[in-house]
Amino acid sequence: MIAILLGPPGVGKGTQAQAAAAAHGWLHLSTGEMLRDEVGRGTELGTQANVYMSRGDLVPDEIMVDMVAGRVSAQPAGEVLLLDGFPRTLPQAEALASKAPSGAIALSVYFRAPDEVLVQRLLGRGREDDTREVVEHRLAVYRETTEPLVGFYRAQGILGEVDADRGIETIQEDLVRMVRSALEEQSLS
């Protein structure tokens, strides 16, 4: 099954996904990490993507969909794939729905936290695309382009919500509980 981790930059999706994947043998796919790896290796894709990333803009949908298509289409039913940072636009969500095996997308977890918390966390982690100007732009892009996906998944009845302005362990418990119950439901259907 595929569980989508949704939420603003800085909310802690990556940290949570990594911890849950390590503890439970789940797979964690972070498109941001994949892109940073391409940038670091100086590939053509990385060079192209970095133009957008350094501004805090989204990398074009075609590039992103090509990047994850192979992986999501081959997702075995009984294995958990935590998708972190994808989809971020409605066209990406639609592409994901068409490429994933039928019924595979069983859960979307929406991580929420107040803007002040996000900005503080983003500025504190000191990544290259985490300057104040870029951070504010990334949040604006998130509100406009990615947040509508909350409604998209809520309408499908697969949205779970997590208050991410709490301790890491408490948030982790919520996430793991949601993934387990989605897995269980899937195995019953």
Q: Is the dihedral of CA 128, 63, 145, 159 positive or negative?
A: negative
Closer CB to ligand AMP, residue 44 or residue 78?
44
Closer CB to ligand AMP, residue 12 or residue 56?
56
Closer CB to ligand AMP, residue 129 or residue 174?
129
Provide the terminal-to-terminal Cα distance of the chain, rounded to the nearest Å. 13
Structure tokens that stand for 73 in this block: 């289409």
Taking CB under 6 A as the binding criterion, the range among 38-46, 87-95, 110-118, 166-174 that sits at the site for ligand AMP is: 87-95
Residues sharing a CB contact under 8 Å with residue 150, sequence separation 6 or more, in sequence order: 6, 110, 159
Taking CB under 6 A as the binding criterion, the range among 74-82, 85-93, 170-178, 181-189 that sits at the site for ligand AMP is: 85-93
For the chain, give percent helix, strand, coil, nearest 5: 60, 15, 30
Is there a cis peptide before residue 9, judged by omega within 30 degrees of 0?
no
What residue number has its CB nearest to ligand AMP?
32
Span 4-63, contacts to ligand AMP by CB under 6 A: 9, 31-32, 35, 52-53, 56, 58-59
Span 125-144, contacts to ligand AMP by CB under 6 A: 129, 138
Binding of ligand AMP at residue 88 (CB under 6 A)? Answer: yes
Structure tokens that stand for 168 in this block: 């890491």
Neighbours of 55 (CB within 10 A): 14
Binding of ligand AMP at residue 160 (CB under 6 A)? Answer: no
Angstrom distance (rounded) from CA 15 to CA 175: 12
Contact 120, 40 (CB under 8 A): no
Residue 164 CB, nearest approach to ligand AMP (Å): 14
What x-and-dash track marks residues 53-82 binding ligand AMP by CB under 6 A?
Answer: x--x-xx----x------------------
Binding of ligand AMP at residue 85 (CB under 6 A)? Answer: yes
Binding site for ligand AMP (CB under 6 A): 9, 31-32, 35, 52-53, 56, 58-59, 64, 85-88, 92, 129, 138
